[in-house]
Amino acid sequence: MSDIRFDGRVAIVTGAGTGLGRSHALELARRGAKVVVNDLGGAVDGSGAAISAAQSVADEIIAGGGEAIAHGANVTRADEVADMVAAAQARWGLIDILVNNAGILRDKSFSKMTLEDFRAVVDVHLMGSVTCTKAVWDLMKEAGYGRIVMTSSSSGIYGNFGQSNYGAAKMALVGLMNVLHLEGAKNNIRVNTLAPTAYTRMTEGLIPEEAGKLMTPESVTAGLIVLAGEDAPSRTILCAGAGGYAATRIYETDGIFLAPADQTPEQVAKNLDRITDPKGQEPYEQGGQQTMKFLTKAAAQAGIKLG
């Protein structure tokens, strides 16, 4: 298998001043991409701002013979993101790859969390990804090419105590991916989601240092490169960390049909074991498949021929 290369491609990586984003930016550049290194330069909780982190990564890329520019756009502000995209266009033309990696943490139990802290985390992770994606979407459609990677988390897919804001935002990105995968397909825009686990400043203190040494950002970046490549899949949730790689898929059970007279809460409760039985479950590609499944069952019982 030939090496995955990005020669001539232009990539924007948000939150690329440290941690995973830095690793993503450096590897994309090493493989030939021209990289916009975006980072607000704030603290883990989103406070503060400085261009120094992004500039340091851009300088490292340039020193290694690559091409890069630094930009300190706040991903939640459409005007700043538009300026970042314009800067990339002015320098290199089209934007081929967007890696939505920027994020903050404000962990607390839901009882103790303020609405401000909930909103702030959702704004950066979800709306930041929406804002950046919106800024490049039509450019990618016109070019007939685009690779977009969202960054989710097991905290959103499966849950994690004290991270209701983070988890809600991260699962929302899976829903965004599902829809954009459908809308972008005809224009060769492939949209995927990375669900990483790594030892960075966002996980420091949560994971023992010895274990953290196994959880390198570079091991996660290996997965990112595949999702951003020419032959990338689409609508894939790739989980990566410590050298482990897996895929999360959302399945729907076959379920049951209840006749009109039995469509009561009591009958639903009585049949929960059958409803949740995984036998015959399937991954769906779009919401209409669920509707058709239910209609098919109902029509068969009523003796109605569909189609």
Structure tokens at 222: 């290996």
- DSSP class of 36: E
Q: Pick the catalytic residue: 158, 166, 245, 251?
A: 166
Nearest CA-CA partner of 113 in 170, 173, 35, 166: 166
- H/E stretch holding 71 reads strand 68-71
**Which strands make up the sheet holding 244-248, listed edge to edge?**
68-71, 34-38, 10-13, 97-99, 146-151, 189-196, 237-241, 244-248
Q: State the sign of the Cα–Cα–Cα–Cα dihedral 39, 67, 195, 243.
A: negative
The string of DSSP letters for 148-202 reads EEEE--HHHHT--TTBHHHHHHHHHHHHHHHHHHHHHGGGTEEEEEEEE---STT
Residue 207 CB neighbours (<10 A)? 16
Is 166 in the active site? Answer: yes
Site of tokens 């097991």: 154
Q: What are phi and psi of 98, to 5 degrees?
A: -130, 125
Q: Can you spell out the DSSP letters for 93-118?
A: S---EEE--------B-TTT--HHHH
Q: What 3-state DSSP class applies to 292?
A: helix
* Sign for the pseudo-dihedral over CA of 252, 256, 260, 264: negative
Task: Return the structure tokens found at 283.
Answer: 């991954």
Catalytic residues: 166
